[in-house]
Structure 1
C-alpha cells in the first residue's frame, strides 16, 4: 500500500551566524505516513522535530531531498501549495496563540473556508466541524470569543478549524502540551475518533513517549536531525533498542526502569560529531558495553546509515539492526 505522505532523504539547513558553519536542523530523514495511520515523532527540544514537520507542510523548503503526497512530489508553486495545505492541516501547541482574540469561534473556524473560497454552505460546514471536534451544539459556540472558553475547548476550536477543510492528514505539534492532565485524554480520544470515523492520518510531534504510547500506531524517535529508531509503538516502547529511546522511556513512571540521566546537552547542529551522533551522551558507551561488544571505536568514528522509514530499525552500533 502506497504511503500518503513521504519524506525521502530530507535535509534542511540554516545559515550559520557570521559566516560560520550551517546548522543541519534536519540531516537526512526518510519517513512515511500511511492513510489513516497515526505516527508519533518523538524527541527532546531542539532535535529538529518541528523543522521536519514544517518541511512536510511545505512551510520550509528542503535544502535537499523531497516530500511527496499521494504519490506525487510536492510542488512549491503558490497555487499548488494552497491546494496541498487544504489536504494537510496544522494543529499548533498553544490554542491561545493560535486563535485571534478578536475573532469569534465562528470566524476562527470559517477562516480556512474563506481563504480557499469555499462555494458551499459556510454555516453548515462550520457547524459540522465544531460538532466533529466535540463542541455541541455547535451554534452555542458561534459567537463566543477565545477568552470565554476553557483550554480544552480552545484546542477543540483549533482542531475544528483544521477539520473544516476536510483534510486527509493532520500535523499536530505538541497538541496537548499546554492542557491540564484531565483534558489531555479527551483531546487524544478525539484524535483517535477522528481517525476511526474519517480515516484521517496524523503526525503527532511530541517530546512525550507516554503520549505516543496512548495514540500512535508507529513511532519515529528523532535525535540531532535524524530518526534514530522506528517501529510500531509496541515494538519501540516495549523493547527499545537505541540508548536514546531507552533514556526517554526510563523517565515515564509506568516504565518501571531506573531513570537514565543523560550527560550534557545535545550537540550544536552546526557541529555534529563524527560517528554516532549520540555517542557523547550514550550510557551504553559510558558503561563499557560498547567496548565489550567491540564497537566502541565505531561508535566514535563511523557514521550510521539513514533509517529507511520502514519496519523495525535502530541506528545504533551495539543494538541496531544488523
Structure 2
C-alpha cells in the first residue's frame, strides 16, 4: 500500500506510506513501532478507511475495503479505533453512558441499549457500570477515561481494534492496567489489535508480532521476542538501545528522518546509519549498496524479515 499527499507550492508529493505489506491474523496483536513522522499513524488511518490509499488496497476477511458510505459504515462496526488522548476523544458535554452508546445509535442497534452499554463498561473494567452512567469525563481519572474510550469501541463487538498510542498520555501506574485489559480482551473475546506506538517496551509487553517502520516502510518484522532480543536492522537496534534495561551505551542517531517528499536513494536509513558510519558496512562489502541500491519490500507474513543490506550480508 502507498499513501501520498500533495506537496505544497509545487513541491514533490510526500510519500507518507511508501510500500507496506502487513497482515493481522485473527486473535493476534501486532505492534507497529517507529519514530514520530515515520508514517505509522497514516497507515493506521488507512486501515480504518479514513485515508484512501494512493495505490494498493486494504482487505478485511479476504474482501477489499469499499469506500462508499454504506461499505465504510459496515466496516467500522467490525473495526474500531482507540485514540491516544482520551480527553480529546470524549465530548465533555456527554455523559459516560452517551459516549459509549453513541456507536450503537449510529449503527441502529436493535437490542437493549442499556444492557449493551453496561456490558461494555464492565468488560473495560469499570464496575459496577451503572455507577459511571451519569458521570462526565472531567469527573474521571485519566485511566478511567481511557477505559470509557475502550468501552465505546467494544460496545459494537468489533473483530479488530486499531489503538494509536493507547497509553502514551497515561501515568506509568495506569499504563500496565490498560495493557493488561487489552490482553484480557484478546483472551476473552478473540480480538485482534494493531497497536501503534513509539515505545518498544510497550510492544514487548503486549504484542505477538512487531513491525518496525521507518520513513514510510517496514524495515524489520517478526515475532516480538525474536525481533527485540536479536534485532538485525540498525534502526531497530538504535530504538532498543535507549530502553533502561538495554545493555551497552545508547545509540544516538544523527540528524532527523529525511523529508518524505525527498526519500534518499538506496537504503532510506543510510544517512543516519551507525553501521555505515562506523565502517562495518564497508568491511562487509555492502557500503555502496547501502547508498545506492533500494531494498525489496518485506511481505506481510509472520516470519522474521529485515530490509538491510548489511544484516543480510552478515546473516549469509
Please report the TM-score for the alignment, with normalisation by the length of structure 1. Answer: 0.96
Which of 256, 270, 279 is the matching residue for 1:279? 270
Q: CA deviation at 1:252?
A: 0.3
* Structure 1 segment 110-259 matched on structure 2, within 5 A: 110-259=101-250
Q: CA deviation at 1:254?
A: 1.2
- Name 2:61's counterpart in structure 1: 70
For residues 187-238 of structure 1, the C-alpha deviation after alignment (integer angstroms, 9 at most, x for no partner) is 0000000000000000000000000000000000000000000000011000
In structure 1, C-alpha distance between the alignment counterparts of 2:254 and 2:228, rounded to whole Å = 22
Asked if 1:317 corresponds to 2:309, the answer is yes
Which of 36, 42, 49 is the matching residue for 2:40? 49
For residues 161-180 of structure 1, the C-alpha deviation after alignment (integer angstroms, 9 at most, x for no partner) is 00000000000000000000
Q: Which residues of structure 2 form unaligned runs of 5+?
A: none
Query: Residue 247 of structure 1 aligns to a residue in which SS?
Result: helix
In structure 1, C-alpha distance between the alignment counterparts of 2:13 and 2:106, rounded to whole Å = 36
Asked if 1:109 corresponds to 2:129, the answer is no
In structure 2, C-alpha distance between the alignment counterparts of 1:299 and 1:69, rounded to whole Å = 35
Query: Residue 229 of structure 1 aligns to a residue in which SS?
Result: strand
Query: Residue 196 of structure 1 aligns to a residue in which SS?
Result: helix
Q: How many residues align?
A: 313
> Structure 1 stretch 73-82 or stretch 189-198: which is displaced more?
73-82
Q: CA deviation at 1:92?
A: 0.1
Query: Residue 64 of structure 1 aligns to a residue in which SS?
Result: coil
Name segments (4+ residues, structure 1) moved above 3 Å. none
For residues 253-306 of structure 1, the C-alpha deviation after alignment (integer angstroms, 9 at most, x for no partner) is 112232000000000000000000000000000000000000000000000000
- Name 1:15's counterpart in structure 2: 6
In structure 2, C-alpha distance between the alignment counterparts of 1:194 and 1:210, rounded to whole Å = 20
For residues 27-62 of structure 1, the C-alpha deviation after alignment (integer angstroms, 9 at most, x for no partner) is 000000000000000000000000000001100000
In structure 2, C-alpha distance between the alignment counterparts of 1:202 and 1:270, rounded to whole Å = 30
Asked if 1:269 corresponds to 2:269, the answer is no
Q: Which residues of structure 1 form unaligned runs of 5+?
A: 1-9
In structure 2, C-alpha distance between the alignment counterparts of 1:202 and 1:319, rounded to whole Å = 29
Asked if 1:37 corresponds to 2:28, the answer is yes
In structure 2, C-alpha distance between the alignment counterparts of 1:312 and 1:185, rounded to whole Å = 27
- Name 2:281's counterpart in structure 1: 290
